Amino acid sequence: MHLSKLLWKNAFRHRLRTSLTILGITIAILSFGMLRTVISAWYAGVDASSASRLVTRNAISLIFSLPISYKDRFRQIDGVQAISSGNWFGGIYIDEKNFFPNFAVEMENYLKLYPEFVLSPEQVAAASRDRKGCVVGRKLAERFGWKIGDSIILKGTIFPGDWEFVLRGIYRGRDKTVDETQMFFNWEYLNETMLKTVPRRANQVGFYMVGVTNPNRAAEVALAIDRTFKNSLAETLTETEKAFQLGFISMTEAIVIAIQLVSFVVIIIIMAVVANTMAMTARERIGEYAVFKTLGFRGYHIAGLIFGESLVITMTGCVLGIVLTYPAAKAFGSTLSNYFPIFNVATSTIYLDVAAALLVGIVAAVFPTWRAVTIRIADGLRRIG
């Protein structure tokens, strides 16, 4: 009889107990995978950040603006390849539940800094020419059924009023880590309106996006930018795009840590369940192991049987859990797309699932193996019958 067939028969000798254990492992791996996917989604913006982009904002706080006149001085700094500016707009589409990120940007320059936003040159040109032109992500367009040429009206929160836009382009992500739920429109449209209604808020931007010639010089260029505007009316703070994104993550660090702890607690709990199952199995088969010893089987043969049976159970549950993680993540991601625009099961999550299942299978079999290997033949034979 092949060893794999023997392990499978042993594992399912008590079908109900084994099935319930596998069900528990499946739920645990599914839960673990989903929690790790939530953490990956939390850091999606950080992972998608480019090493060749810097973000410059007001040194006091992000809520304070910078003069648009700074743009010309950026170009004089060695190492700066491209520059664009923008504002967080914070508009609402129909209802507050329809939240999505929307920005006023220098359209053409901004899109050049983000080659991962893929759309045709004709769409870029059309959006740049039209003062009310905007570009949205593919997922956002699908969510609301928007098509090129549609009129979109947002209700301003930071900039009050009803703002009308014309959809001139729909971008798709170069890869699955790109956020396709954003909207960008021409900063000139915002500025012209502010000049007419609230002049003191005109000619101001919330941030500058800076493209550097060499990612290795990012820190050097950031220091040069901040030195340029030191002691000005609006001093700057420049950091890499990744550091900028991590700044937002740090505000919710306690939540992330809590999710990580829960994910590991799930594994510890299922480890205890599997250990109990294997302990019961080994106790029931002490007589069999004693017979094996009388036939000349060594301790490592018995250890192989117990560890193998434990791994058959845990890896079966692991495979089922991984298979179920993908549809669960798809359903969860579509439900909470407002909060997690990128919700994909990472390859690293699958590796963690497998590693967790292996760890559970090995640890759960340690004590039953020690007990079976160390018991004396005479003591084992007394349990037969």
CA gap 303, 297 in Å, rounded:
11
- Give the predicted TM-score (pTM) of the model: 0.79
pLDDT at 385: 55
Q: Which two tokens stand for residue 31?
A: 């839960």
What Å distances lie between residue 92 and 15, 87, 108, 251, 281, CA to CA? 56, 15, 24, 24, 60
169, 122 Cβ separation under 8 angstroms: no
pLDDT at 381: 65
- Give the pairing of strands 117-118 and 133-137: unpaired
pLDDT bin (cut points 50, 70, 90) of residue 3 is: low
pLDDT bin (cut points 50, 70, 90) of residue 258 is: confident
pLDDT bin (cut points 50, 70, 90) of residue 4 is: confident
Residue 154: name the closest of 142, 163, 141, 167 by CA: 163
Give me the mean pLDDT over the 9-36 stretch.
86
Give me the mean pLDDT over the 117-131 stretch.
93
Average pLDDT for the chain: 86
CA gap 140, 156 in Å, rounded:
18
CA gap 148, 136 in Å, rounded:
10
pLDDT tens digits for 84-102?
Answer: 999 999 899 988 888 899 9
| C-beta atoms surrounding 17 within 10 Å | 14
The β-bridge partners of 131 are none
CA gap 168, 203 in Å, rounded:
25
Listed in sequence order, the residues at least 6 apart from 322 whose beta carbon sits closer than 8 Å to its beta carbon are 29, 33, 350, 353, 354
| C-beta atoms surrounding 253 within 10 Å | 10
pLDDT tens digits for 272-319?
Answer: 888 888 777 777 677 766 777 777 777 777 777 788 888 888 899 999
Q: Has residue 78 got a pLDDT over 80?
A: yes
